[in-house]
Structure 1
Amino acid sequence: MDGKPGLRERKKQRTHAAISDAAIALFLERGFNQVSVAEVAEAAEVSKRTLFAYFPTKEDLVVHRLADHETELARVVRARRPGTTPLTAVREHFLAGLRERDPITGLNDHPQVLRLTRMILDAPTLVARMDRFKAAAERALAQALQETADTPELTARLAAVQIVGVRWTLAQDNADHLARGESADSRSAGAVADAEQGFALLENGLRDLGSRH
């Protein structure tokens, strides 16, 4: 076996991508609430039953593109260098994301990214889904802190809420600046300064987190 997906798996991947691409194109063109699942299925040339087999809810058609980020901070903490605290690892990762214009940092002014962000914020069901996304990120990070930093359960949960909350707020602030017409390049220095301030505030209260790693 060469490790490559088989014909059936490749066909499933193509169908998944076709449905997702059709959905995003329609949502960006007309708005999330103005497009029905039936219209997405028709555009992707699949049945509604097939669509729901890949995406259980309409919101999944959008949120699945962010799925990898749900456990991102937990993975960063687990993969950190020996002697590096969890907070330092997360800070370095966020600053790297700013440099690379990772959309999850809010510092990406590609037109489609800006439109997708605006679309999510304009749809209450998507905003609610993002709150669930944030809560799942907190749970995953708390678990990683417990397992890799010898952190008591309550401390891990409290720390995770703070860390995820700071990252979330920094990203939203960046997105707000770009939504008002500022470019990613002109916002970059301010985004870095805000990130440094946010993580410095965290460090004042979490300086001993993972110190035994």
Structure 2
Amino acid sequence: MEQRSGLRERKKNAMWGRLKATALQMFEERGYENVSVAEIAAAAEVSKATVFNYFPSKEDLVIGGMKHHIEDPARTVRERPLGQTPHAALRDRYLDLLEHRAPQTGLSDKPLFLQVQRLIQATPSLLISAMDYRRRSSVLLAQELIEEGNPPLTSRLVASQLLHTQHILVEVNVHHVLEGRPVDEVYSQAVSAAFHAFGLLETGIGDLMRRDTDPPAADAAFAPDGCRVGYEPGRAEAEAVLERFAGEAGDEIIEALADPGRA
């Protein structure tokens, strides 16, 4: 029975890897938005239903693994030892993951990881989904802090600062790795960056970057409320649409709307 179970598990893992590799290759060649699940199934010589058995959505073929780490920060903080702050717990956990070159730190040169990162950066919809996973992780961390008896606002601020700081560190690591720098070379820099970033959280930004020169003159193109002078919400977009349609011959109504003087 154990041998049969082991065989089934190996077959499942093999199929999972086959589908993911096929999808990533097609996405890289043609663009994520230009490949359908049906086409992936055909290329892998399986049914569309089989693909969905392993990956609930097309998006999961690329970033589904992120779902498994949404609860990591909250769990790390919940299980921290007596006397340790959330800040120290997440810092130590991040440094440990860095040492092991864990993909969630951005410090990995595995081909699959690099493919996924390139696709995320090239595909706005995937980038938005990845950002939402991070948002959900922050919400869970804040809830954990609130359940410990901390004020809701403070909990949300702390959770957001901690996880956004870690996100920037990961983003820098990914950038270096995609540039082709060896991960072992990036590692020491990543550790230094982590101590610097978490150190800022620990001590506060205080007088850091206080201006010591006169500021430039105010930009006359912007009003005091921050909007561009003369800007009317939606007008530029509407004019662009009208101009595009007016360029099509034979539509006198659209042409009149685009140029009211002709009416």
The 1-side partners of 2:191 and 2:142 are apart by 25
**CA distance in 2 between partners of 1:151 and 1:166 (Å):** 21
**Consecutive aligned runs of 4 or more in structure 1 exceeding 4 Å deviation:** 5-18
> Structure 1 CA distance, aligned partners of 2:67 and 2:16?
14
**Matched residue count:** 202
**Aligned residue type for 2:188:** A
Query: Residue in 2 aligned with 1:165?
Result: 164
Partner of 1:77: 77
Is the CA contact 2:24–2:115 (under 8 Å) kept in the aligned structure 1? no
Instruction: Determine if contact 1:28/1:116 at 8 Å carries over to the other structure.
Output: no
Please identify, of 100-109 and 161-170, the stretch whose mean Cα deviation from structure 2 is larger. Answer: 100-109
Change (3 A) 1:51 1:80: same
TM-score computed with the length of structure 1 as normaliser: 0.81
Give, in angstroms, the shift of residue 58 of structure 1. Answer: 1.7
TM-score by length of 2: 0.67
**Structure number with bigger Rg:** 2
Letter in 1 for 2:155: A
SS at match of 1:80: coil
Q: Percent identity?
A: 42
In the alignment, what sits opposite 1:92? 92
Question: What is the aligned partner in structure 2 of residue 145 from structure 1?
Answer: 145
Structure 1 distance, partners of 2:9, 2:180, is 42
Counterpart in the other structure of 1:196: 195
What residue number does 1:60 align with? 60
CA distance in 2, matches of 1:178, 1:6: 35
For 1:127, the aligned partner's letter is L
Q: Which amino acid aligns with 2:89?
A: A
Whole-Å Cα distance in 2 between the matches of residues 181 and 44 of structure 1?
30
Distance in 2 between residues matched to 1:114 and 1:10, nearest whole Å? 24
Letter in 1 for 2:160: V
Greater RCO structure (CA 8 Å; 6+ sep):
1
- For 1:33 and 1:9, the matched residues in 2 are separated by 31
Instruction: Give the aligned partner of residue 26 of structure 1.
Output: 26
- Structure 1 spans left out of the alignment, 5+ residues: 206-213
Shift of 1:181: 2.3
Greater helix proportion: 1
Distance 1:118 1:8 in 2: 32
Which stretch has the larger CA shift, 29-38 or 116-125? Answer: 29-38
Cα distance in 2 for residues equivalent to 1:99 and 1:80: 19
Out of 196-205 and 162-171, give the one that drifted further: 196-205
Report the alpha carbon displacement of residue 77 of structure 1 after superposing the two structures with TM: 0.9
Distance 1:14 1:177, change over 3 A: closer
When the two chains are superposed, the root-mean-square deviation of aligned CA atoms in Å is 2.7
Do the aligned partners of residues 187 and 9 (structure 1) sit closer, same or farther apart at CA in structure 2, a change above 3 Å counting? closer
State how 1:106-121 maps to structure 2 within 5 Å: 106-121=106-121
1:55 deviation in Å?
3.7
